[in-house]
Chains A and B, each alone.
Chain A
């Protein structure tokens, strides 16, 4: 990690990841365990995201999409489904050493992290929308497949 906040995440990885997963699972109206398919997939995605949090690498984007794909078929509006991505900010700032202590984050570090979280949020929203659109596209494709021979005959 290059940044001060990145290093802080790296040093407290397990603790931060654990809290982030907990926040992620809490958006569901039902209790979802960590060992369920949703829980496992979410944990895996968040873990990959955290390890590459500083930039939108291919692996990072795939992890965001993996999570967004789950969220896009939940009975939640995007405002609620995606909110836990923002929670990383709270978790990190609560984890960070207090001002004047060793390794404390400067205001510039905090601003930089804030900007990065906003970027992540937009990426997550893009992925969420792409998956919602995919659902509608799949509905059309499925209807066409079901009437495959009919359409073929109609098209001569």
Chain B
């Protein structure tokens, strides 16, 4: 038996002695008096000291959330208090979000973490209240007078622990915001809370190590330029083996028309690499004049989960590289939070990008007026436009081995309002498509449960619980329509949903949209295709059978 397993006597003692809501111990207490409890599986490892030092972030030290003393820096109360004060002044939205909530509770049962854990502090209204209660105590004058009636409390180390627990049980997916009558963006409250926690060194290594790597080499894994190039060239070789077509991506090429930026997960992770192969086949098919930067080698931006300044700094490389290479516009790959940053923040953070042109598809002549300001186009829009103008030779029967459904990535759906383009592309390249239930897709989509830098292995139990609502919806279409493929347009989804599916809905694989495009594209000069990009046999195209093409 594991040496870590508790003894029966210990369990009995715990059950008998430990206070519990079920035993009525907190009946006469306020919600904030219920203590948080860190245990294996419900907290993310803190940032390594060297990671913080490389970024110049506060309070590098060795610690764990299960420690009694978190070694907060002296004067941390003042740091948080002044940090909040300055941000309230800087971000009018934050002040508005803190002041306007009437606690109607419309958001309560919309959060996947609340649905998956049942913990009342995971209701978005209460999660925001964790900060609001401190704000009320410290700031508005009227609340000071009404002290005791206004739900205010003092900032203590226990409050910090509570913030760390619950602002890391929010994936910034914004499903709650859809239902809020005031449109309060709880994701932005979480972003600000995490920013405040970073001021005193309360953090998450799975977020900050990629930030540090990005800061140094341009991408999350810290891949240096030569390895980045080798990886993509190796994928080009795979494409040649499978299709007989030689694709020739270029790197850092000045004067290219388009700069292509995608999350680095597409360059080094499985199944992202198959999506990368799909992009390369597409660009070759249409003869796109594009280049890939080995510095702006990451679409994702974990700065968004750290601080506004860090998000801005990491995002800046996109425009820097576009300027250095002299491209006309930027094409962005399949990513989630990258698009929230690009669509909602980039223009005012690092724009205007006057040196770029309003994007125009060189193949169809379509002007992407929606990207007139950012100069950056989403690949699903770009491909949908190509298909609409019949510029692609597609054979959707090559995806007959897949019965698909589509997972709307939170940031694409709710962060930029894109619902139909990816569905149009998917249904053009695959004949079998079934929607999940209405209240789990489009703007009401359920998060994968691992977004916003929580996709870490030590957090697996919470991730599985948070992802249960999404998994249940997939299970529904699997049982009803024998769906076996979950298609998505987000790198974190591609990394985390395979795990979620293997646990809750075994038998469903996860695909990137452009992987399916790559399967379906009929390339000029290709050899007979019998396998998809994963080297799985394609139904009806097996060796020895007649290929209709």
Residues of A within 8 A of B (CB): 26, 28-33, 36-38, 40-41, 69-70, 73-75, 77, 79-80, 131, 134-135, 138-139, 141-150, 152-153
Contacts and interface: CB of A to CB of B under 8 A. Distances in A.
A74 B465 contact: yes
Pairs A-B, 8 closest by C-beta atoms: A30-B118, A148-B270, A32-B118, A139-B457, A149-B268, A145-B270, A73-B464, A73-B461
Interface string B55-89: 00000000000000000000000000000000000
Given A79-B11, A146-B269, A150-B268, A29 B20 contact: yes
A32 B118 CA distance: 5
B273 A73 contact: no
A69 B465 contact: no
23 contacts: A36-B109, A36-B115, A37-B116, A38-B116, A69-B503, A70-B468, A74-B461, A75-B42, A80-B11, A135-B461, A139-B460, A142-B457, A142-B499, A144-B270, A145-B269, A145-B270, A145-B271, A146-B495, A147-B268, A147-B269, A148-B268, A149-B267, A153-B234
B503 A135 contact: yes
B231 interface: yes
Interface of B: 5-6, 8, 11, 15, 20-22, 39, 41-42, 109, 115-120, 221, 230-231, 234, 265, 267-271, 273, 457, 460-461, 464-465, 468-469, 472, 495-496, 498-499, 502-504
Q: Which of B21, B42, B267 has the most CB of A within 10 A?
A: B21
Given A77-B6, A149-B273, A143 B457 contact: yes
Interface of B (DSSP majority class):
helix
Contacts of B496: 142
B503 A134 contact: yes
A40 B115 CA distance: 11
Nearest to B276: A149
Contacts of B22: 26, 29
A69 B502 CA distance: 11
Given A138-B502, A153-B234, 19 more contacts: A29-B20, A30-B21, A30-B119, A31-B118, A36-B115, A36-B118, A40-B472, A70-B468, A73-B460, A74-B465, A77-B6, A134-B503, A139-B457, A145-B269, A145-B271, A145-B495, A146-B265, A148-B269, A150-B268
A156 to B, nearest CB: 12
B469 to A, nearest CB: 5
B267 A38 contact: no
Contacts of B464: 73, 135
A5 to B, nearest CB: 29
Nearest to A144: B270
Nearest to B455: A142
B503 A38 contact: no
Given A75-B39, A77-B6, A37 B468 contact: yes
Contacts of A131: 503
Nearest to A139: B457
A142 B503 contact: no
A79 B8 contact: yes
B15 A80 contact: yes
Nearest to B231: A149
Contacts of B42: 75
Q: Which of B6, B39, B273, B457 has the most CB of A within 10 A?
A: B457
Contacts of B5: 77
A37 B472 contact: yes
Contact of B461 (A32, A75, A150): A75
Given A36-B115, A79-B11, A41 B472 contact: yes
B446 to A, nearest CB: 9
